Amino acid sequence: MENERNPLHIFFLPLPAHGHMIPMMDIAKMFATRGAKITIITGPPYATLFSKQIERVNQLGLEFQIQTVKFPSAEVGMPEGWESTDAVTMSQNQHKFAKGLILLREPVLHILEEHRPDCLVADFFFAWATDVAARLKIPRLTFGGESIIAVCAREVIALYQPHKGVSSDSETFLVPHLPGEMKLTRNQLADHVRQVETDVLIRGEASEAELKSYGSIFNSFFELEKDYADYYRNVLGRKAWHIGPVSLCNSDTADKVVRGKEASISSHECLRWLDSKRPNSVIYVCFGSMTRFSSQQLVEIAKGLEASQQDFLWIVKEVKNEEQDWLPEGFEERMDGKGLIIRGWAPQVLILDHESVGGFVTHCGWNSTLEGVCAGVPLVTWLVAAEQFYNEKLVTQVLKIGLDVGVKQWVRLFGDSVKSDRVEEAVKRVRVGEEAEEMRRRAKALAEMARGAVEEGGSSWSDLGALLQELRLQRLASNKKI
């Protein structure tokens, strides 16, 4: 624990997006439980959204506060209040959003100059954060919210450009030098790798700033990605601390309920439905905070779930093009008692941790992937964008705790093109038979490793302790220079 009279004061600057904000809040809580004083810099809408979670942390007697800074929506031509709606607006206004992040530099700098913290933990996309921290003579730690395998693969592809040696977008190429054998196609690479101008600029500047930062924090644990953790540190030569899975800092039901946005269903109602089901009998279907499907794709999912004859809990965000009347006729009546559809936000960790959940159909975003690992459930990977194709390789080929539904192309936001028969087949395979039992056995073992990693003496617990000790020594050295 920190010296209570003079604890480390650490500022956190998360990206204003739910998939980045949620894990960084958990990381801040983990730092606080080890004695650090925490300040989060975010906009008023997110301060409101996370107020209950912060209240829960403060009830534990931890020093945890928020400094608000308004996102310059009007200055960059984005609608006011977009942060409190959904991630679609951000994605559709990416260039404007990037400009807004740059404009946050001066107000954030003024806050930091006023408080003079010992360290700044800033999201990867705040490229200017490294220079600001250097100006204040404090370490800047980078958090990108990605898996270690994804970062390693991205760096190797950028360095060796193996995708330029194939003749078509569908031809496979080997990602060289990585542990294991990762094969991809150009169709599975992100826009910025295929030279979309805005993304190249944003990510390029952020990558340069990351290289100059003090080091990176990963929401992962060594045992999960050990070959890639070693590759990152020993071959790429970068400093890193693996302190996850950070969602495990929320052990109480109340903590799981207030994590993220307010749920569209009461925890009591959700748990009551899950309690009525047999252990490992429910398929949980959720595609994260950003993915949106067309009504046609949702119909295919509904048909596949019905044909699989498995119990399911399905989270549906708003439908693309606002087509609300999309369910097959009579579907909800036929599925009464067998399936539960939640429209909006759901307490994912609470659901996954319930003993009735036996499989997870996921977009394979890193937060969701790790939460599935912690719950010990097999995964069906249904990829959309970002680094999800790299995460799928870890899940299906390295860890062997899941199977893919067959998506072959990176599509940024709106996922489509999977037919009902493939949904039916994947759901059955992950739930029934010897293959499913073997995946479940491996998943349960990984869940035990995950819990052990964050407990006292575990790999993540030790890595966080080592990082805090380095920061204390940095402060001591700084004070001596003064």
Residue 222 DSSP code:
T
Strand ranges (E), 197-306: 215-218, 240-242, 282-286, 292-293
Tell me the C-alpha distance between 138 and 453, whole Å.
28
Dump the DSSP string for 108-160. Answer: HHHHHHHH--SEEEEETT-TTHHHHHHHHT--EEEE----HHHHHHHHHHHHH
**Residue whose C-alpha is closest to residue 327's, from 298, 307, 362:** 298
Residues with a known catalytic role = 20, 123
Give the CA-trace dihedral at 470, 473, 475, 481, to 10 degrees.
Answer: -140
Rg, C-alpha atoms of the chain: 22
For 233, the enclosing helix (H) or strand (E) is none
The answer to whether 171 touches 182, Cβ cutoff 8 Å, is no
Rounded to whole angstroms, the Cα distance separating 12 from 24 reads 8
- Backbone φ, ψ for residue 437 (5° rounding): -65, -40
